[in-house]
Amino acid sequence: MTLRIGLVSVSDRASQGVYEDKGLPALEAWLGRALTSGFECISRLIPDEQAVIEATLRALVDDEGCQLVLTTGGTGPALRDVTPEATLAVADRVMPGFGEQMRQISLRFVPTAILSRQVGVIRKQALILNLPGQPKAIQETLEGLRNTAGEVEVPGIFAAVPYCLDLIGAPYIETDPAVVKAFRPKSAQKPQA
């Protein structure tokens, strides 16, 4: 079974063509480097409208069969930033550790990371994660932070994603450890061929 990944960029101006969206290309490029197992992306560029975000998330999970949905944008404190509210509105369960770790990573760079409201949730058999809006921040959040020797100093959130997907019944996925090493307990690892 191939993992279906929904990618959602939430931006009023990019969805109106005022400027080029950078979130979707950044996500697609990162997934192409990080995943060594097959996957398929379904992308959506939408405005900061809670009803539209909710409908998009529902459609990607319920109709398109996505087992992982990554959003980018709309997670700050501005009045138009409603991605977390929309995500929580479609959630069956909240996974608070994802948001906590994203803020932990971002705090290494900017004190305003505490203003971020990213959340992680489960809807049916899908994991939905709100990511930052900037390509560099997306990469750091997913991959984690490395020291000058290349060793992971602060784990990125994607290290936990494959095992989370296992637990909710999604396809088994593998990652390139040079990008991000997936963590699974020994009992959950497939034997190497």
The CATH number covering residue 35 comes to 3.40.980.10
For 141-156, write each residue's pLDDT tens digit: 999 998 998 888 999 9
In the block, which residue shows the tokens 């900061």?
48
Look at residue 191 and tell me whether its pLDDT is greater than 80: no
CA–CA dist 173, 163 (Å, integer): 9
Residue 48 CA: distances (Å) to CA of 15, 16, 86, 193: 9, 11, 10, 45
* Residue type for position 128: I
pLDDT-derived band of residue 17, with 50, 70 and 90 as boundaries? Answer: confident
pLDDT digits (tens, 9 = 90+) for 38-61: 999 999 999 999 999 999 999 999
| Least confident segment among 2-6, 16-20, 73-77 | 16-20
What domain range includes position 183?
Answer: 3-188
Annotate 47-77 with DSSP letters as a single string.
-S-HHHHHHHHHIIIIIT--SEEEEES--SS
pLDDT tens-place string over residues 78-90: 999 999 999 999 9
Residue 141 lies in a domain: yes
The pair phi, psi for residue 173, each rounded to 5°, is -120, 155
Q: What percent of the chain has pLDDT over 90?
A: 83
Nearest to 128 by CA among 156, 170, 184: 170
Q: Tens digit of pLDDT for each residue in 164-178?
A: 999 999 999 999 999
> Is 193 contained in some domain?
no
Closest of 84, 169, 149, 146 to residue 159, by C-alpha: 146
pLDDT over threshold 70, residue 193: no
Give domain status of residue 114, yes or no.
yes
Number of domains in the chain: 1
Count of Cβ atoms closer than 10 Å to residue 77 Cβ: 9
Q: In this structure, are residues 140 and 164 in contact, taking their beta carbons and an 8 Å threshold?
A: no
Token pair listed for 161? 């994603």
The pLDDT of residue 151: 87
Structural domain contains residue 138: yes
Q: With contact defined as beta carbons under 8 Å apart, do 109 and 130 qualify?
A: no
User: In the prediction, which pLDDT does 41 show?
Assistant: 98
- Confidence (pTM): 0.95
The mean pLDDT of 88-112, rounded to a whole number, is: 95
Per-residue pLDDT at 23 exceeds 80: yes
In a domain, residue 38? The reply is yes
In a domain, 169, yes or no: yes
* Cα 50 from chain centroid (whole Å): 18
Query: What's the mean pLDDT in 101-129?
Result: 95
| Residue 103: inside a domain | yes
Q: What is the pLDDT of residues 177-187, one digit of tens each?
A: 999 999 998 88
